[in-house]
Structure 1
Amino acid sequence: MELDLTWILLGLPAAFALGWVASRLDLRQMRIANRQAPRAYFKGLNYLLNEQQDQAIDAFIEAVQNDPDTSELHFALGNLFRRRGEYDRAVRVHEHLISRGDLNTADRQRAQHGLALDFLKAGLLDRAEEALRKLEGTSYEGQARLARLAIYERSREWPEAANVARLLENSGEANFGVRMSHYQCEQAREAVQQGDSAKALAILSQTLRTTPDAPRPRILLGQLQLAQGQAQAAYDTLAPLFERSDVAAPLAAASLAKAAQAAQQTRPALKLLSTHYQRQPGMDVLEAITTLQANDPAGAATAQQHYLDHLQKQPSLMAATRWLTGQSSNAHPLPAPVQKALEQAIRPLARYRCAACGFEAKEHFWHCPGCQAWDSYPPRRIEEL
């Protein structure tokens, strides 16, 4: 068949025209999509600034659909899901980002950090720990270690917490010496609960040698020695707290008084407690003094005077109650309703309060059960703050 040049000449302009029309349609679609993506993005940003998170999420989802390759939109969407408590959707977003082959190293690490935060906020501690371990050697290493430290403290895995604290200290994050002494004290307490007092004594003795200025291991060691009948050793362990007027000394006042009585060290203990009381007046130390003076024939009268002197220094319902109770006698006892009312009135004042979150408790905590902060409980009761 002979080639008809006429048809070729006619077909070339037609093909060119069709190609031009198709390209114009593609460009038009691209312009429309590009206009829609920024519009949806800025709409979501406006909702976010107005704290309308639901509408912001809808706008960002629309933006992601228009431009699925934009990682920043995915990050914004994942963070919003996490803030709203939709952790499963946040996890899917961050896992999708990690699975993308075109993601650069910095964004991949950022997505891994976001995934770890999703698991952490959802309370999935095992999966959070696994995700945080993958951030070792990255720019998020310090943050990941601090998060792992919080996980181990929350789950009471003290050896693991000590290892991470040591890594943080070696990297120059902070000094974790006192924190690590708390971990040792927690292990000693667990040993006592399991009936292994020898192990507890060894742990506390070693901790005291490592951190001699930390009050908690000294107090726990003295109390454990006292419980085992080592009164003189307990006295020698606790006395330095009062010699240097440690702020935590009132927590050991009752134990020191018991150890002094058992070890025949009443006189030096009274002198030590009285000197500390002059520097830092407090009810715990005052009651330890009155306990030691109880065997003296004039002890009752002396105790009454101590409470009056304390009231002159600072108003105290606890001291006033002790004075009233001491003033009553067999002939003229304090009426039972009055005694009960006084005890009920002083009960809230005898509590300890966390300075970080305000959690109140009958006993002093070194690790707040409310906010998980360390050393946030002042060693003084609410009335004395």
Structure 2
Amino acid sequence: MEFELSWLLMGLPLAFGLGWLASRLDLRQWRADSRRSPKAYFKGLNYLLNEQQDQAIDAFIEAVQNDPDTTELHFALGNLFRRRGEYNRAVRVHEHLLSRADLTRADRDRAQHALALDFLKAGLLDRAEDALRRLDATPFEAQARLALLSIYERAHDWPQAMAVAKRMQQAQQGDFSTRIAHYLCEQALALVQRGDHGGARALFEQAHASAPQAPRPLLELARQHQRQGQPRAALQQLQQLVASAPAAAPLAAALLADCASATGQQPQVLAQLRTLYEAAPSLDLLDAIVALEKQDAEQAAQAPQWYVRHLQHEPSLVAATRWLAQERLAHEEYHPQIQRALDNAAKPLTRYRCAACGFEARQHFWQCPGCQTWDSYPARRVEEL
């Protein structure tokens, strides 16, 4: 018994010493690891600030290996992969985060949002849609809905886009009434191509009810009436458009002139066009005025002089070209060549230009083909901007 007790008394200090030594070794290892991790992290930040993304990625990978439980390092690494276009690696990082059982709810939502952005940037719209839908009832819900709206617009899935826009409007995330009107107009135009004019007109009317201040539904309704041989109804819609949105009058000017000729209301419409032109001169209004005056035998000879009046206020190459096209020159044999040269020079000036991205087009678009922005094309030509 005394022998066992002596051994026990001798073993206690030895066990204490070994435990103390082990703790010191663990502490030193922990300190070394903690020193390496921030050092690699700050090294990565320094590379980022110096636009050295390859070195930054290597530094962040080293930091993640030293401390695999640090979520912020994973987010930094995943976002950096996405910025470089390495979407597969970004997806793996964020999917690894989502697979962790110890991830907090806030970090899980953040990782889900980052994963959705990875899919969106990679063009995997079906997977992006699924990832975005998982963000309902999270702090990223508003951003996810905007991204879903963009996906449905790119896919021309107008019913789905309209459903998302209505939910956002109900959640008071903005006024989407004009955009909903655009979606309805797009669906109506698809019905027109299929020959369903009645269904198209019903959707145009619904679009006007959704956004009474928007010019497009009234303009599309007028075109629909004209397609169905109802110029008087078309003229009524156009006059309502001019009264509610005079800035959009240039888009309706040519159709106004056609409807006036078809209904025999040239004098009234001509007076209206002159009033609009005096308030805000426009090349499209000018062309409509000249077209109507040419139909009057007494005014036909003086109609081209409207282009000269325009030149007195605006140094317009387009107006000069159109005036010259209707004039007789001393050397008539040179007129076609001169006219062709001027037409080529003036052609770029008759385009429309997106106010958001600068994309130019020969026709007016309600949604820019370049940047997908709605209502970014002014109703005026490039020369008038």
* Counterpart contact for 1:242–1:273, Cα < 8 Å: no
| Whole-angstrom CA distance in 1 between matches of 2:49 and 2:362 | 44
Instruction: Name the CA distance, whole Å, in 2 between partners of 1:321 and 1:57.
Output: 59
Aligned Cα root-mean-square deviation (Å) = 1.9
Aligned to 2:107: 107
| Distance apart, 1:18 and its partner CA | 3.0
1:200-223 superposed Cα distances (whole Å, 9 cap, x missing partner): 111112222332221001111111
Shift of 1:260: 1.0
Where does the alignment leave 5 or more consecutive residues of structure 2 unmatched? none
Match of 2:79 in 1: 79
Residue 54 (structure 1) shift: 1.3
1:125-166, Cα deviation, whole Å (9 max, x unpaired): 111111111110011111111111111111111111111111
Secondary structure at 2:118 match in 1: helix
Question: What TM-score does the superposition give when structure 2 sets the normalisation length?
Answer: 0.95
1:224 paired to 2:224: yes
Structure 1, gaps ≥5 residues long = none
Aligned residue number for residue 183 of structure 2: 183
**Structure 2 residue aligned with 1:321:** 321
Superposed counterparts of 1:184-223, under 5 Å: 184-223=184-223
Residues 233-289 of structure 1: CA deviation (Å, up to 9, x unaligned): 111111123345611111111111111111111111111111111111111111111
- Is the partner of 2:246 in helix, strand or coil? coil
The 5 Å alignment of 1:1-385 reads: 5=5, 7-244=7-244, 246-328=246-328, 332=332, 335-385=335-385
Distance 2:132 2:305 in 1: 60
Q: Distance in 1 between matches of 2:356 and 2:147?
A: 19
Bigger drift between 200-209 and 273-282 goes to 200-209
Q: CA deviation at 1:193?
A: 1.8
Are 2:329 and 2:335, in contact at CA under 8 Å, matched by a contact in 1? no
Task: Return the alpha-carbon distance in structure 2 between the equivalents of residues 234 and 199 of structure 1.
Answer: 17
Q: Which deviates further from its counterpart, 191-200 or 144-153?
A: 191-200
Residues 1:329 and 1:226: Cα distance change in structure 2 (over 3 Å): farther
Shift of 1:11: 4.0
Contact 1:325/1:334 (8 A) holds in 2: no
Secondary structure of 1:156's aligned partner: coil
Which residue identity does 1:196 align to in structure 2?
A: D
Q: Which amino acid aligns with 1:42?
A: F
| Residue correspondences, number | 385
Q: Percentage identity across aligned positions?
A: 60
Contact kept? 2:213, 2:245, Cα under 8 Å: no
Amino acid at match of 2:357: C
SS in 2 for 1:347: helix
| Residues 173-206 of structure 1: per-residue CA shift (max 9 Å, x gap) | 1111111111111111111122222211111122
Q: 1:9 to 1:205 in 2, by over 3 A?
A: closer
Give the Cα–Cα distance (whole angstroms) in 2 for the partners of residues 241 and 5 of structure 1: 106
Once the two structures are TM-superposed, the CA of residue 171 in structure 1 deviates from its matched residue by 1.2
What's the offset of the Cα at 1:9?
4.5
- When residues 245 and 64 of structure 1 are mapped into structure 2, their CA distance, relative to the original with a 3 A threshold, is closer
Shift of 1:335: 2.2
Change (3 A) 1:245 1:56: closer
Contact kept? 1:242, 1:272, Cα under 8 Å: no
Tell me, yes or no, if the aligned pair for 1:328 and 1:334 is still in contact at 8 Å. no
Amino acid aligned to 1:59? A
Alpha-carbon contact 2:324-2:339 (below 8 Å) kept: no
Amino acid at match of 1:204: F
Q: How far apart are 1:5 and its partner, in Å? A: 5.0
Structure 1 Cα separation of the partners of residues 333 and 214 of structure 2: 45
Alpha-carbon contact 1:354-1:378 (below 8 Å) kept: yes
Instruction: State the alpha-carbon separation in 1 of the partners of residues 3 and 11 from structure 2.
Output: 13
What letter matches 2:373 in structure 1? A
**Does the CA contact (< 8 Å) of 1:37 and 1:63 recur in 2?**
yes
